[in-house]
Amino acid sequence: MATFTQFPAESIEVISNAKSVAVLTGAGISAESGVPTFRGEEGLWKNHRAEELATPEAFARNPELVWQWYDWRRGLVAKTRPNPGHTALADLEKLYDDFTLITQNVDGHHRLAGSLDPVEMHGNIWYTRCLTDGDIRENRDTPLPEIPPECGKCGGLLRPHIVWFGESLDESVLSRVFNTSSRADLFFVIGTSGVVQPAASLAGMAKNNGATVIEINLEPTPLTSLADYTILGKAGEVLPPLIEQIPEK
């Protein structure tokens, strides 16, 4: 499909008339806020790579080391803030009765920007989960007062509420994203390379069920060929003008 630097007039009409809207965001929108990717060279910490630390085996072997890494990560994320792209998506949500925001990001910026119920496929770095009683709680302490932290209810060991390498996504999360993608008549793909499964399959699922797919990214991706419209640019620059063109319902 053709690529654009702004939304064509016919796409504005499609967006305005949509009834069920789903949005998938990836690392690109967080990068606009200055959030590191924590993969590859950017993920190197004390000679450890992210792929070596973000595993259940690494945590079982050395929970203190893993938590030290997450404490460092949390400190970096805490210095960043949601950008206009995050805010625009929170505003977009207000225009539809049926709207679901799905994100691959764990920084929690969509919540901070005002999104009411984002589906955080890979978890949230600001939440902990007790290995003993399963209790999940928000914790925004940075730096953490104790490493590794313990559960305030039972004293059990806490782990980051993150989906690690080698772990499966929560079944309830998968069910929700698949159902949402299947019923959407408009599907946005924003700031994601479209290669990590199962997120990479959601746009195709929506397309196969009749949805219009709109991609927003800095450059073409493997998803560009199935998108009805691909807008090249930063979400924080592309989305705010779009919101102004959509009439309130």
**Distance, CA of 187 to CA of 178 (rounded, Å):** 12
Question: Which CATH number applies to 3-34+82-122+169-245?
Answer: 3.40.50.1220
**Distance, CA of 79 to CA of 129 (rounded, Å):** 23
CA distances in angstroms from 199 to 130, 150, 189, 211, listed in the order given: 27, 32, 10, 16
Query: Once rounded to an integer, what is the mean pLDDT over residues 143-169?
Result: 95
pLDDT band at 42 (very low <50, low <70, confident <90, very high): low
Answer CATH for 40-79+128-162 from 3.40.50.300, 1.10.1060.10, 3.30.1600.10, 3.30.930.10: 3.30.1600.10
Q: Break the chain into its structural domains and give their ranges.
A: 3-34+82-122+169-245, 40-79+128-162
pLDDT of residue 197: 84
Quick: pLDDT tens for 164-216.
999 999 999 999 999 999 999 999 999 998 777 888 899 999 999 999 999 99
Which residue among the candidates 86, 109, 122, 161 is catalytic per the annotation? 122
Quick: pLDDT tens for 54-73.
999 999 999 999 999 999 99
- Backbone torsions φ then ψ of 217, nearest 5 degrees: -160, 165
Query: Does residue 122 have an active-site annotation?
Result: yes
Percent of the chain with pLDDT over 90: 84
**Distance, CA of 158 to CA of 67 (rounded, Å):** 9
Query: Once rounded to an integer, what is the mean pLDDT over residues 27-39?
Result: 88
| DSSP designation for 167 | P
- Rounded mean pLDDT of the chain? 93
pLDDT of residue 39: 61
With a cut of 70, say whether residue 2 has pLDDT above it. no
pTM over 0.85: yes
Going through the chain in order, the beta strands assigned E by DSSP cover 3-4, 20-25, 98-103, 119-120, 123-130, 136-138, 158-162, 186-190, 212-217, 229-232
Residue with tokens 């299947």: 182
Q: Are 126 and 138 in contact (CB under 8 A)?
A: yes
Strands 212-217 and 186-190: parallel
